[in-house]
């Protein structure tokens, strides 16, 4: 990741390199610690696996219980979503206008598939577990410390955009070599 950020700063070239790294990561399902793979009965979980010391990128595991999903939201930075276990449904939207949100398309991601978001290629979506009787897990890579970035979600009740900061389900990242070196 560090090499990719230094040598391929243009977004499309950078995403190609991150896509290759994420594809290799999710090709094997023998590394995610159980603590970062725990589903919750009430809502999806996002566990911080690693955040770059300069907050240039973060790696997060999303764990969806049966039927769970996100609200419609944006990211404000680039992001790649790779399915490690199960399958996901991604619904894409145009950036909302005043009081209106336009759904564009929905696609299903099977194990090993990768989806992309960013303000330049399309930044609004909702993601759901495609499985109704089993958890699904995806590994996400973002161009920032995604749990601490102020972004927006679509409030279905008021038909308007409101700010949110997602946070993480764990207090400390699973993989933090820069912290251990201090
Ligand atoms: Fe998202």
Report whether 114 contacts 103 (CB < 8 A): no
Percent of the chain with pLDDT over 90: 86
Report whether 17 contacts 141 (CB < 8 A): no
The residue-averaged pLDDT of 112-120 equals 97
Distance 75 CA to ligand 1 centre (A): 6
pLDDT at 181 over 70: no
- Three-state DSSP state, 37: coil
Distance 72 CA to ligand 1 centre (A): 8
Distance 71 CA to ligand 1 centre (A): 9
How much is the mean pLDDT over the chain? Answer: 93
Report whether 152 contacts 161 (CB < 8 A): yes
Distance 118 CA to ligand 1 centre (A): 10
Selected from 2.40.110.10, 1.10.1740.10, 2.60.120.10, 3.40.50.720, the CATH number assigned to the domain covering 2-180 reads: 2.60.120.10
Distance 123 CA to ligand 1 centre (A): 8
- Three-state DSSP state, 36: helix
Distance 7 CA to ligand 1 centre (A): 26
Q: What is the pLDDT of residue 1?
A: 73
Distance 73 CA to ligand 1 centre (A): 6
Distance 117 CA to ligand 1 centre (A): 8
17 CB neighbour count, 10 Å cutoff: 15
Q: What is the pLDDT of residue 178?
A: 67
Q: What is the pLDDT of residue 182?
A: 43
pLDDT at 86 over 70: yes
pLDDT at 2 over 70: yes
Q: What is the pLDDT of residue 97?
A: 85
> Which residues is 139 bridged to in the sheet?
61, 82
Distance 178 CA to ligand 1 centre (A): 27
Q: What is the pLDDT of residue 7?
A: 67
pLDDT at 8 over 70: no
Distance 100 CA to ligand 1 centre (A): 19
pLDDT in tens, 34-78: 999 999 999 999 999 999 999 999 999 999 999 999 999 999 999
DSSP the chain: -HHHHHH--SHHHHHHHHHHHHHHHHT--S-S-GGGS---SSS-EEEEEEE-TTSS-EEEEEEE-TT-BPPSB--SS-EEEEEEES-EEEEEEPPPBTTB--EEEEEEE-TT-EEEEBTTTB-EEEEEES-SSS-EEEEEEESS-GGGS-EEEEETTTTEEEEE----SSSS-S--HHHHT-
DSSP 94-115: PPPBTTB--EEEEEEE-TT-EE
Residue 146 binned pLDDT confidence (cut-offs 50, 70, 90): very high
Token pair of 101, please? 């949100």
Distance from the Cα of residue 24 to its chain's centroid: 17
pLDDT in tens, 155-180: 999 999 999 999 999 989 998 876 65
pTM: 0.93
Lowest mean pLDDT among 1-5, 106-110, 136-140, 171-175: 1-5
Distance 1 CA to ligand 1 centre (A): 20
């Amino acid at each position: 990741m560090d090499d990719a950020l230094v040598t391929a700063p243009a977004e499309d070239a950078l995403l190609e390199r991150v896509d290759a790294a994420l594809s290799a990561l999710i090709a094997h399902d023998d590394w995610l610690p159980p603590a970062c793979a725990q589903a919750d009965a009430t809502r999806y979980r996002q566990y911080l696996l690693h955040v770059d010391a300069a907050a240039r990128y973060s790696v997060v595991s999303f764990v969806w219980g049966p039927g769970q999903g996100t609200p419609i939201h944006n990211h404000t930075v680039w992001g790649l979503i790779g399915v490690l276990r199960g399958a996901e449904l991604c619904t894409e939207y145009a950036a909302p206008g005043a009081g209106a949100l336009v759904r564009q398309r929905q696609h299903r991601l099977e194990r090993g598939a990768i989806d992309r978001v960013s303000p330049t290629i399309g930044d609004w979506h909702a993601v759901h577990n495609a499985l109704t009787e089993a958890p699904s897990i995806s590994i996400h890579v973002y161009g920032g410390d995604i749990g601490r970035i102020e972004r927006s979600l679509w409030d279905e009740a008021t038909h308007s955009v409101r700010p949110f900061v997602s946070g993480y389900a764990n207090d400390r990242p699973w993989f933090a070599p820069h912290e251990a070196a201090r």
